Structure 1
Amino acid sequence: MKWIDKYKSHLSYIYPEKVSVEKKNNYSNYLKHAINTAGFSPDKIYIVTSKNDNTYEDHILPLIEALKHKGESIVKLYHNNEFYVTKHNNAVKDSLNEIFAMLSYDLSPNNLKAILGN
């Protein structure tokens, strides 16, 4: 049994077998509304994704646009566009080195950042 299969019944609203265009639009609008009405915006938001993710057009792009439109957080975006990265969990699992590099850079002292460049 795959790990996701244990949780699929609980995740049916975000991991459905067949999803209608109406449900996709509702979910995209829900994210936009949640972001725009949030009482807190972090300084930075890291998004690790793939243009091959099967929800990229319907879910990831609206999320990125809503965050950029609100304009209160710096959005740091990394794409792992390997052909096998088609789901959210693969984007993270197959990009751990890149995630660690981004976080290490952002958490490093300013004098080290000057040496490494932007």
Structure 2
Amino acid sequence: MAVAELGVVVLDCPDPRALAGFYAEVLGGSVEGEGDWVDLKLPDGRALAFQAAPGFVPPRWPSPEHSQQFHLDLDVPDLDEAEKAVLALGARPLDTEDRTRGFRVYADPAGHPFCLCAA
């Protein structure tokens, strides 16, 4: 028997509306809210939330001293096309050199690592 069920994944960031907008372009959905808390309602009913974090310091990848703490795996049908799209939206590559793997690692505009994964 479970004690709880997952509510929403919340990403700390300096600008919740801007980061929610980035993920809305990547995943679809609608951005709701203003100020220190913004929700991204995804087309399948799930959600991501974004919370203002004064003094936010992004994780460094890879770095044992500045752990990433978590990351999102985003399944895509075509890694090359998805890569072009996320880079155009403001992501930056962290580990994309090995094109034989089924994933590539990027940072969102606030510095959170995420992976594009071959679906």
TM-score band, normalised by the shorter chain?
under 0.3
Asked which structure has the greater CA Rg, the reply is 1
Greater share of strand = 2
**Taking structure 1 as the reference length, what is the TM-score of the superposition?**
0.24
**Taking structure 2 as the reference length, what is the TM-score of the superposition?**
0.24
Greater share of helix = 1
